[in-house]
Structure 1
Amino acid sequence: MGDRELRVSDAEREHVGQLLQRAVGLGMLSLGEFTERMDTALAAKTRGELNAVLIDLPGIRLVGPSTFGHAAPLMHSASPFTERGPVAPVAGRAPATPSHVIRSRLSGVNRRGPWQVAPSLQTNNWLSGVTLDFTEAIMSTQVVELHVDDYCSSLTLIVPAEATVDLNALDLIGSSVNNKVRTGPPFGPLHLVVLGRLRFGSVTAKHPLSAHWRKLMGR
């Protein structure tokens, strides 16, 4: 059996997805091309199928031992295209080690009700819709840091009436932000600080619908 017929793992598919993501950021692929190739990568079963989505990208070559154990080599880059590594949420500042990671691919994610909120959260979503509802959440700290590393995804943050949300440190690439909540300083039950990078997506911070009704009725 040749290298091209070997089966690939989820880790290899995700690695190729990161390469495609960086290719878009460098202007090598359009958003439509990224979507098509990402679909192919997620459905790939063999190394040949997975490598096919990278074959025409400059700076990509086959290297020696695979990063993923003893399997055959995977398409990898010999240029800064991949050596840049993960993008830091804020220049010169490394994120705290998150105790909760929200990761999705082509999915919808909802966190509602009395869910446990760690002091530091991280999202890593591609082509997904994510809603984090903090109105009934159980929080261990007043200040919560949310480190975003999302692509082509929408992020909706629903916070209690007296909460504050700071979106000023979020790095946007072809994305939009809609903050309907006070920025700060923190004085209520929650101060949510959103850091990181959002590519071709959107972030909305708002109060629950019931809070708007109470405001309209003067309560």
Structure 2
Amino acid sequence: MTDPRDLRVSDPEREHVVSLLNKAVGRGMITLDEFTTRTDTALAAVTRADLNAVLIDLPGMVNNELAHARTELKNTMGTTVRKGHWVVPRELVIRNTLGSTNLDFTQAEVPPLVNVDLDVSLGSVKLVLPAGSSVNVDGVEITAGELKDKVHNAVGNPHFQLKGAVRGGSVVIKRKR
């Protein structure tokens, strides 16, 4: 299981932290020199732990939005697995070629709405959703593949909105009882 602090961050996440540091300067919490040093660190950050380190001693400036940003899972001829406790972003991009991606959301920290963008070629994706959740797969285009939606378009929370393309692959969606 991957510690959420070890997950890689995106440019929008880095920019968000820089905006929080800018607010900290405006509130007199850090000096301009500290702002410069922390901004350099934030812009060079690779993981969430790197980003949070520049905010940790600033009360009220914790970056809660990092857990709800965008994450891309790339997989070529391999297996990507997320299960147990993990932090689910608001936007999840799954790029899978000749591999498998297995995501178990049942013990994860899930925002109310999760947008999942699929780009699957000759691979498989399995999603295990928490009890009471819902999913919409109307935006998924299947070409020479298969979509097994055992949840259907039920109404519930959290809600998973799937879109994208599956070419010669499969997507299986189940809900934990």
User: Taking structure 1 as the reference length, what is the TM-score of the superposition?
Assistant: 0.48
Deviations 1:46-85 (A, max 9, x none): xxxxxxxxxxxxxxxxxxxxxxxxxxxxxxxxxxxxxxxx
What is the one-letter code of the residue matched to 1:180?
K
- Deviation for aligned residue 1:126: 0.5
- Deviation for aligned residue 1:169: 1.0
Aligned counterpart in structure 1 of residue 170 of structure 2, from 202, 205, 219 = 202
Paired with 1:100 and 1:110, the residues of 2 have a C-alpha distance of 14
Superposed counterparts of 1:161-180, under 5 Å: 161-180=131-150
What is the one-letter code of the residue matched to 1:125?
N
3-state SS of 2:161 partner: strand
Paired with 1:165 and 1:134, the residues of 2 have a C-alpha distance of 13
- Deviation for aligned residue 1:184: 3.0
- Deviation for aligned residue 1:108: 1.0
Paired with 1:130 and 1:149, the residues of 2 have a C-alpha distance of 11
Aligned to 1:88: none
What is the one-letter code of the residue matched to 2:166?
L
Q: Does 1:138 align with 2:122?
A: no
What is the one-letter code of the residue matched to 1:108?
T
Question: With CA pairs under 8 Å and 6+ residues apart, which has the higher RCO, 1 or 2?
Answer: 2
- Deviation for aligned residue 1:136: 0.6
Aligned to 2:130: 160
Aligned to 2:81: 110
Paired with 2:126 and 2:170, the residues of 1 have a C-alpha distance of 8
Deviations 1:137-169 (A, max 9, x none): 112x21100001110011001011211111111
Structure with the bigger percentage of strand: 2
Superposed counterparts of 1:48-67, under 5 Å: none
Gaps of 5+ in 2: 1-68
Aligned to 1:19: none
Deviations 1:4-51 (A, max 9, x none): xxxxxxxxxxxxxxxxxxxxxxxxxxxxxxxxxxxxxxxxxxxxxxxx
Paired with 1:115 and 1:194, the residues of 2 have a C-alpha distance of 20
Say whether the 8 Å CA contact 1:104–1:124 is kept in structure 2.
yes
Superposed counterparts of 1:1-219, under 5 Å: 99-139=70-110, 141-185=111-155, 187-188=156-157, 190-208=158-176, 211=177
Gaps of 5+ in 1: 1-97, 212-219
- The runs of at least 4 consecutive aligned structure 1 residues that moved more than 2 Å come to none
What is the one-letter code of the residue matched to 1:151?
S
Say whether the 8 Å CA contact 1:163–1:182 is kept in structure 2.
no
Say whether the 8 Å CA contact 1:115–1:138 is kept in structure 2.
yes
**Residues matched between the structures, number:** 109
- Deviation for aligned residue 1:123: 0.8
